[in-house]
Structure 1
Amino acid sequence: MTADKILTLEQLPATLAAWRAAGERIVFTNGCFDLLHLGHVDYLEKAHALGDRLVVGLNTDASVSALKPGRPLQDETARARIMAALAFVDAVVLFGEATPLQLIEVVQPDVLVKGDDYPIDGIVGHELVLNRGGQVLTVPLVAGYSTSRLVEKARQL
């Protein structure tokens, strides 16, 4: 079941240890993923292709609201289940902090990835990952797709 891919911070280390024991490369990314769209799917698929397992840090409702007033449009339970339903997402972990740094410290990813709208030195956790020999990469985003754009389009209908 997709809900089995939604892990707590306490469950995560055992899962990561099993993947590492199997020699699998762990990729981490994070976001709000409020209304899933083509840009998200393309981005997450490309992120997964950088390793063997993709862990997605998902902002809680409270942290989304702090970043984006009036959001989220879907609650964290719905967003987590939708993320977990994607074949190329191996684990979803909610985080409520302003940044995913604490979660990145637990995951210790081999690859930290964000969209190419971020400079490498602007990606939270980049120093931690680079200092332990990992990679910090960006992937190209699909132009014209964003949740904000979808919300604006819906308001015009």
Structure 2
Amino acid sequence: MLPSQEKIFTLPQLLTKVGEWQAQGQKVVFTNGCFDIVHIGHVDYLERARLLGDKLVVGLNTDQSVSRIKGPSRPLQDEMSRIRVMASFWFVDAVVLFDQETPLELIKAVQPDILVKGDDYTLENIVGHDVVLAKGGTVKTIPLVKGYSTSQVVAKILGDQHS
């Protein structure tokens, strides 16, 4: 098994691993997304998220979840491709798939110490903020790299730069 594959977890495996980390006093950071076409904005965001704690867990939307959220033409890359790419980053410690439109159930299960989203969200709009705050954790936003989004990349590929 390749090192990146060792970072891909089922939910039961992840809960065991997070429990071990937290028992050792390590702060677990959680974020989520589709990460369909990974670009510099994703890399910057994830690396900054990891620096907020000791371990970074990424919840990754399944293919069906992405299609429900973004439409039938998405994702462009299947979940196994997306999860391996996420797991290959040194700053990502664990990746788990989730099939819902939001990561609320996953956040309730994982009970991260720090919940992170991009600064295009307000605290009140971050799914699971109440769960994390109720257990004494923190919720943070990270500045996004301006001018980068998967939708913009797709538009550029399609030659429609006015989207």
Please report the TM-score for the alignment, with normalisation by the length of structure 1: 0.98
Please report the TM-score for the alignment, with normalisation by the length of structure 2: 0.95
Helix, strand or coil: the match of 1:117? Answer: coil
Alpha-carbon distance in 2 for matches of 1:98, 1:44? 20
Alpha-carbon distance in 2 for matches of 1:150, 1:118? 21
Structure 1 segments unaligned to the other structure (5+ residues):
none
Deviation at 1:104, TM superposition (A): 0.3
Alpha-carbon distance in 2 for matches of 1:98, 1:152? 24
The reply on whether 1:105 has 2:111 as its aligned counterpart is no
Helix, strand or coil: the match of 1:10? Answer: helix
* Residue 26 (structure 1) aligns with: 28
The reply on whether 1:93 has 2:92 as its aligned counterpart is no
* Residue 49 (structure 1) aligns with: 51
Deviation at 1:17, TM superposition (A): 1.4
* Residue 122 (structure 1) aligns with: 125
* Residue 154 (structure 1) aligns with: 157
Structure 2 segments unaligned to the other structure (5+ residues):
none
The reply on whether 1:72 has 2:72 as its aligned counterpart is no
Report the AA paired with residue 41 of structure 1.
V
1:86-145 superposed Cα distances (whole Å, 9 cap, x missing partner): 000000000001210111011101100000000000000000101111001000000000
Report the AA paired with residue 76 of structure 1.
E
Alpha-carbon distance in 2 for matches of 1:136, 1:14? 23
Report the AA paired with residue 78 of structure 2.
D
Alpha-carbon distance in 2 for matches of 1:99, 1:156? 31
Runs of 4+ in 1 over 4 A off after TM superposition: none
Alpha-carbon distance in 2 for matches of 1:106, 1:48? 20
Alpha-carbon distance in 1 for matches of 2:111, 2:70? 27
Report the AA paired with residue 74 of structure 2.
R
Q: How many residues align?
A: 157
Give the % identical residues. 61
Helix, strand or coil: the match of 1:11? Answer: helix
